Structure 1
Amino acid sequence: MNHDEKIHIAFLIFPGFPMACLTSMIEPLRAANEITGKDAFGWKLYSEGGQRVEASAHVWFEPDLALEDCEAVDQLFLLSGPSSRFERPAPSEGKLRKLARHGVTMGAISGGVFPLARSGLLEGYSTSVHWCYEAAFAAEFPRLTATEDVIMIDRQRMTVSGAAAAFDLSLHLIQDALGADVAIEVACWFQHPLMRGQGVTQRKPTFAAESTHDMLPTPIRQAVEIFNANIEDPVNVADVADQVGVSARQLERMFRKTTGTTPLAYYRSLRMHKARQLLLYSKDSMADIAIAVGYSSASALNKNYLDVFGVHPRDDRNKVNMFRVRENTIVPPA
């Protein structure tokens, strides 16, 4: 859409957007301009109506323009929480679709994939979704293809899972525009250890020990992957042990040593964390959430939820909703 050599980027920010995602993209681009002495990248902030926007860290931002005035940009990234919606969906989503038709690469960071998907601009594309939103995203957009990759570039769509991934994406943009040497120097400026690309999956907490998913021994990691793939239709732990090539007794010993808990307790915790994603980031009823994580009723879910989180799911949802409401406006979580 833009015809000069400078790459023009628009950042569309919603109330409650994660500030780190914005600064993680802008700072590498700013550094690249300084290092090369070129005005290679330019950026502006937009909000739906041009109004001031408060980030999740309670820092206010003054956008340059309203979305309707967005023109002559090469890329546009949405930054928001998963509950963010346009105040005027028809014209605002129409504006995004118009920009896309005119060749603008559309992107989103972290929760920004939700309003981008609601605009219809992820139909037929693969998208990166942060692990803490994956259950809610799948529930709302069952036909869309979501990946665990930290970065997903699919033709004219760029999506990243979070702030660190946004930094990596900026390094890729710098490398494409100015070369690998500049990208490496920018990474060194910020002591960024490496530049991740597509095909690199997100690191996930194990929810049971001071480790992440990629640090688990192979049989445990394979078992966790099976558990993850069978949230709605639970599997028997003995069958899982058989699939990963160990006895049920061996699997239990390995789980206790690695995670500090049993396979069954770990599996239950995993299902409860999926339930909490749906509780916090979707409007599904408790009965629907229970079915989605493999329980026959909400009452069966409630007891395990209380055991894992120490709070009744109804109270957990009410607490979050209380914090999302400010001056009669829904404030999305970061």
Structure 2
Amino acid sequence: MDHESRIHIGFLIFEGFPMACLTSMIEPLRAANEIANQPAFAWTLIGEKKGRVMSSAQVAFEATQSLAEANDLDSLFLLSSPTERFADAQKSPATLRSLARHGVTLGSISGGVFPLVRAGIVHRQPVSVHWCYEAAFRAEFPDVDARSDVIVASARLQTVSGAAAAFDLALRLVEGQLGRETAHEVACWFQHPSMRGEGVRQKVPVAQAPHTGDDLPDLVLRAVDIFASRISDAVTVAEVARKTGVTPRQVERAFKAATGQSPTHYYRAMRMKAARQLVIYSGDAIADIAAAVGYGSSVPLVSHYKAAFGVTPQQDRRRANQFRVDANKPVPSI
């Protein structure tokens, strides 16, 4: 395979980027090169500036090229935590937009969707947002079409929710470049059971239960969907019962049997998780966060938050900020 037909992928890494997301995409591409015995894929680690970049796992990587020097790329993926921003808020986003205009496919993995959107790359296109970041993302970008699919991709914009989804996207690239048989062999190398595509929803943990939702009864799943759509506009169990065509008692019994808790407590846990995203990944005032998750004031929010996480929102935010600053450690990312 000649240089012209090779696919060259850049990974723009920020401090605290999720290491698994990077390796989950590079390793299948490396394996594909070995299996095909040809350099079908090449990759470059890029930073705003050249040099050492610390990952979320406290393993350092070397950005061998600066963003300003990025060239000869077919695709460029952003990897970061949700809180990271460009050091040069004018020049770096402009460079990304210039790359896009010159035919480079841009994308993001996990929290990298935040700087991607901040750069003005995404307009009316949908993007994949990890469920862990959904509340913070919607608060910052209410007009962006955030999807829960593991992969949301077009010819010019490719976004994936996390590390496993990055592996799936890499397999798609291998299939497109080297064929289905090679992609299947790569998947088997890593014991990756199947290649997920667009339209596949993320696995989301059920609050305080060892499930991802697949084995929940239909009534509970429908109620959870209603709860998820009404985080900021609180809904009662009676309303959920009316919408699902059953009695409140049936909803109560179904939740207790499936999750071990009442629908009210389950719903509160969902709202607390959304609140914690906003506490850690946004700078919003606690009163605004309370309103965003359906509370009339911050007093009950603080009480429920402390019961759920053992600290107040203010204490949790101070802890997160201290973790970011001390030894330049990032808040954990997905």
Q: Normalization by structure 2: what TM-score?
A: 0.97
Residues 1:202 and 2:221 aligned together: no
Match of 1:212 in 2: 212
Question: Deviations 1:89-135 (Å, cap 9, x if unpaired)?
Answer: 11111111110000000010000000000000011211000000001
Offset of residue 239 of structure 1: 1.7
Q: Partners of 2:28 and 2:330 in 1: how far apart?
A: 29
Contact 2:17 2:80 in 1 (8 A): yes
Contact 1:83 1:333 in 2 (8 A): no
Match of 1:113 in 2: 113
Q: Partners of 2:272 and 2:172 in 1: how far apart?
A: 36
- More off after superposition, 301-310 vs 139-148: 301-310
Q: Partners of 2:137 and 2:332 in 1: how far apart?
A: 15
Contact 1:150 1:202 in 2 (8 A): yes
Return closer, same or farther for 1:65/1:332 CA change in 2, 3 Å cut-off. Answer: farther
Q: Partners of 1:311 and 1:332 in 2: how far apart?
A: 17
Match of 2:178 in 1: 178
Offset of residue 155 of structure 1: 3.3
Offset of residue 297 of structure 1: 0.8
Contact 2:56 2:329 in 1 (8 A): no
Partner SS, residue 5 of structure 2: coil
- More off after superposition, 40-49 vs 241-250: 241-250
Contact 1:7 1:41 in 2 (8 A): yes
Contact 1:82 1:333 in 2 (8 A): no
- More off after superposition, 302-311 vs 272-281: 302-311
Q: Partners of 2:296 and 2:241 in 1: how far apart?
A: 25
Match of 1:7 in 2: 7
Contact 2:24 2:163 in 1 (8 A): yes
**Superposed CA RMSD:** 1.4
Give, as a single letter, the amino acid of the residue that structure 2 aligns with 1:68. Answer: A
Offset of residue 27 of structure 1: 0.4
Contact 1:82 1:332 in 2 (8 A): no
- More off after superposition, 298-307 vs 179-188: 298-307
Partner SS, residue 146 of structure 2: strand
Q: Partners of 1:316 and 1:332 in 2: how far apart?
A: 12
Residues 1:235 and 2:231 aligned together: no
Match of 1:290 in 2: 290
- More off after superposition, 242-251 vs 117-126: 242-251
Offset of residue 332 of structure 1: 5.0
Match of 2:39 in 1: 39
Offset of residue 330 of structure 1: 8.1
Give, as a single letter, the amino acid of the residue that structure 2 aligns with 1:195. Answer: M
- More off after superposition, 148-157 vs 159-168: 148-157
- Structure 1 segments of 4 or more deviating over 2 A? 329-333
Contact 1:241 1:251 in 2 (8 A): yes
Count of aligned residue pairs for this structure pair:
332
> Can you give the 5+ residue segments of structure 1 that lack an aligned partner in the other structure?
none
Match of 2:21 in 1: 21
Q: Partners of 2:216 and 2:311 in 1: how far apart?
A: 29
Match of 2:86 in 1: 86
Give, as a single letter, the amino acid of the residue that structure 1 aligns with 2:229. Answer: A
Q: Partners of 1:330 and 1:57 in 2: how far apart?
A: 9
Partner SS, residue 325 of structure 1: helix
Pairing of 1:1-334 with structure 2 (within 5 A): 4-326=4-326, 331=330, 333-334=332-333
Give, as a single letter, the amino acid of the residue that structure 2 aligns with 1:315. Answer: Q
Partner SS, residue 120 of structure 1: coil
Contact 1:18 1:57 in 2 (8 A): yes
Partner SS, residue 44 of structure 1: strand
Contact 2:320 2:331 in 1 (8 A): no
Offset of residue 215 of structure 1: 2.2
Partner SS, residue 76 of structure 1: strand
Offset of residue 246 of structure 1: 2.2
Question: Deviations 1:30-58 (Å, cap 9, x if unpaired)?
Answer: 00000011110000101111121000100
Q: Partners of 2:103 and 2:317 in 1: how far apart?
A: 40
Contact 2:110 2:160 in 1 (8 A): yes
Contact 2:49 2:63 in 1 (8 A): no
Return closer, same or farther for 1:75/1:146 CA change in 2, 3 Å cut-off. Answer: same
Q: Partners of 2:142 and 2:96 in 1: how far apart?
A: 22
Q: Partners of 1:47 and 1:73 in 2: how far apart?
A: 14
> Percent identity over the alignment?
55
Partner SS, residue 192 of structure 2: coil
Offset of residue 242 of structure 1: 2.2
Q: Normalization by structure 1: what TM-score?
A: 0.97
Partner SS, residue 326 of structure 1: helix
